Structure 1
Amino acid sequence: MPSPYVRRRRLAAEIRKLRESRGLTTDGLARLMYYNRAKISRLENAQVRPDLAEIINMLNALEITGSQYDKFLKLAHEAAQKGWWDKYGVSMGPRQKLYADLEYNAENVRAYNQTAMPAVLQAPEFIDALVTLDRCRGKLDYVPERMAEARMRRQREILRPDGPSYEIVLDECVIHRLAVPPRAMITQLRHMVGVVTAEERISVRVLLHDARIPGGFLAKSSFYLYKFPEPGDSPLAVVDTVTTDLLLTQHGEVARYTEMYDRVRDAALPRQESIAFLERVANRLTDQTGSGT
């Protein structure tokens, strides 16, 4: 199944292009359809799952036939699909739902993370420790048990035989600055090493705190890059901020983050050296704390 979110964005662009080719404004198309303007705007901005009956009415009103009709209907059908994440509703958190959707049919995922461990490689004990940290800021916008369950499902989906390749550049500061109990960090590091060692297409590269990154300014936040198998589904970037995730689709914007990713990747330790580094840190923390994990 293609990513419904990606298909909604593609459908939105096609509807906008079709409307403009007919010389219609958003208001004009709304009047033609006997809809309110907000409904057309939401469709053109991929803010809602499309209603197939409404799409058919639109195509008929604009006298679309033949292969173009079939193309729109196929896009609308794929955009209206529900994924495994939809059964969780809001309980898994809106941000995690977006990531699960994008990951599902991605060809590859690349990320630079300077504030957290990669969500799809987190151990259950580590997730519990993160929930405790998150409670410090007040009321949670998710159900912890459901969020953790969904996060482990994301990991299984990434590891399925036809799952995407996944590469994370992890800033070393996350290991030292994230205030989780040492035992939780030890468990997380060993879990991550185990997954990466067992699966060649999953990779973690550690960016040491003293690594120099030539070629420009430093990244201002964590971000993710997604590439999809079908040519019509353009690559996109998601920028992680404190309050929301910014989704970027413009070619120039995605290219800038791709260039930034290549720079931090080149400055990070290679795959095997990163695995060895994570093992050393886990062993050192074990010695320091006397943990038997």
Structure 2
Amino acid sequence: MPPAAPSPIMRRRRLGVELRRLREVAGLTGDQVIERIGWASASKLSRLENGRSRPDPDDVAVLLDVYGADRAQREELLGIAQEAGDIRGWLRNYPVMTQQQRSFAELESGCAEIREYNPVLVPGLLQTPSYTSLRIASARQVDEEAGDPEAEEDVDTEVRARAARQALLTRTADAPRYTAVLEEAALGGRAGPPEVLREQLVQLCELATLPNITLHVLPRDTQIGHLYLPPTAFSVYRFADPLDPETLAIEGGFTDVMSTEANTLNRYKVVFEWLRTAALSESDTLSWLIEATGRLPGAVRASTVAYGSATAPTQRRRSSGRLTER
């Protein structure tokens, strides 16, 4: 897979931040800019500055004239505007994509690092097709019961779109650093029948051996911090371009929230470190996954699964309020 194209959504946000900064340096209010340019809608500038609309490079050029941007600034921001609007070019990196998957695909594209936690599900980037199909089909049942219209895409299309997203973890060029904390409950019997869970566990074992992927299983009775309980799934994205703002995605099942607000991000980054520290180490996680695979009905003995010389997970104990290994 070729290197990732810049994320359009992050290009829009980056452009918006720079345009707002240039306007403020020029000492202009939004109303003054609208009056000078003659735009009919005052919200047009607001949507551009907040990264909520696809920018027209001609509009950006006009704004840069008003703000007195120098040549270097013009070249940089017009290039970003082009990338922010080139949805079709970005989509060429994916064999199939759906609207439901696009918002996360846009965040993941161009990432240097992804950190994820999920208390009840295997994160989407790690799911097998069977696990994904089961999750999407079960969610559609809720839509039907609630009387919502049917989804635009069928389950198979959504599954293939998610698989297209997953390719970024195994691409040969600039694959992001990926770390996930998985709750033990997310890999239990409630998630699906044994054959689906077995396939999922085997895939996690294989992914855990990749140099850019780190997985941690969090046992159900392990204490986090001072009895902290994380309330929701979340992901933190850091981008290859250091000027693109880190982004938080909070996954709420039927609605998602995204934020670049620094104080909110910092809280979730602290929580992720608590989770990672409390969870099993990388090697113990691989051992746990192999043993969990072997415990499923009809599975081969765990010792015959060829993932290296993993040993049994070490026990953990409390010591001065901190979890330690021995």
TM-score (norm 1): 0.89
One of 199, 204, 218 as aligned partner of 1:207? 218
Give the aligned partner of residue 4 of structure 1: 8
Partner SS, residue 181 of structure 2: strand
Contact 1:173-1:209 within 8 A present in 2 as well: yes
Q: Distance in 2 between matches of 1:116 and 1:156?
A: 19
One of 148, 151, 155 as aligned partner of 2:162? 151
Confirm or deny that 1:84 pairs with 2:91.
yes
Please say which of residues 115-124 and 240-249 is displaced more in the overlay.
240-249
Give the aligned partner of residue 166 of structure 1: 178
Give the aligned partner of residue 51 of structure 2: 46
Higher helix share: 1
Q: Distance in 2 between matches of 1:124 and 1:46?
A: 33
Structure 1 gaps of 5+ residues are: 289-293
Structure 2 gaps of 5+ residues are: 144-149, 300-326
One of 64, 68, 88 as aligned partner of 2:69? 64
Contact 1:85-1:150 within 8 A present in 2 as well: no
- Identity score, percent: 29
Cα deviation, residue 215, structure 1 = 4.2
Contact 1:93-1:147 within 8 A present in 2 as well: no
CA separation of 1:77/1:202 partners in 2, compared to 1, >3 Å: closer, same or farther? same
Output one character per residue of 1:243-281: Cα deviation in whole Å (capped at 9) or x when no partner. 322222122221111110000000001112112212222
Give the aligned partner of residue 26 of structure 2: 22
Contact 1:4-1:101 within 8 A present in 2 as well: yes
AA aligned to 1:66 is R
CA separation of 1:16/1:245 partners in 2, compared to 1, >3 Å: closer, same or farther? same
Aligned residues: 285
Give the aligned partner of residue 243 of structure 1: 254
Contact 1:170-1:207 within 8 A present in 2 as well: yes
Q: Distance in 1 between matches of 2:154 and 2:92?
A: 14
Q: Distance in 2 between matches of 1:157 and 1:284?
A: 31
Cα deviation, residue 104, structure 1 = 1.7
CA separation of 1:133/1:62 partners in 2, compared to 1, >3 Å: closer, same or farther? same
Q: Distance in 2 between matches of 1:27 and 1:181?
A: 59
Q: Distance in 2 between matches of 1:112 and 1:283?
A: 25
One of 130, 133, 144 as aligned partner of 1:128? 133
One of 109, 114, 123 as aligned partner of 1:118? 123
Q: Distance in 2 between matches of 1:48 and 1:163?
A: 28
Q: Distance in 2 between matches of 1:18 and 1:243?
A: 37
Bigger-Rg structure (1/2): 2
Contact 1:222-1:240 within 8 A present in 2 as well: yes
For the aligned residue pairs, the C-alpha RMSD in angstroms reads 2.2
Q: Distance in 2 between matches of 1:159 and 1:127?
A: 18
Q: Distance in 1 between matches of 2:142 and 2:93?
A: 26
TM-score (norm 2): 0.80
Partner SS, residue 178 of structure 2: strand
AA aligned to 1:27 is D
CA separation of 1:228/1:243 partners in 2, compared to 1, >3 Å: closer, same or farther? same
Q: Distance in 2 between matches of 1:23 and 1:143?
A: 51
AA aligned to 2:241 is E
Give the aligned partner of residue 37 of structure 1: 42
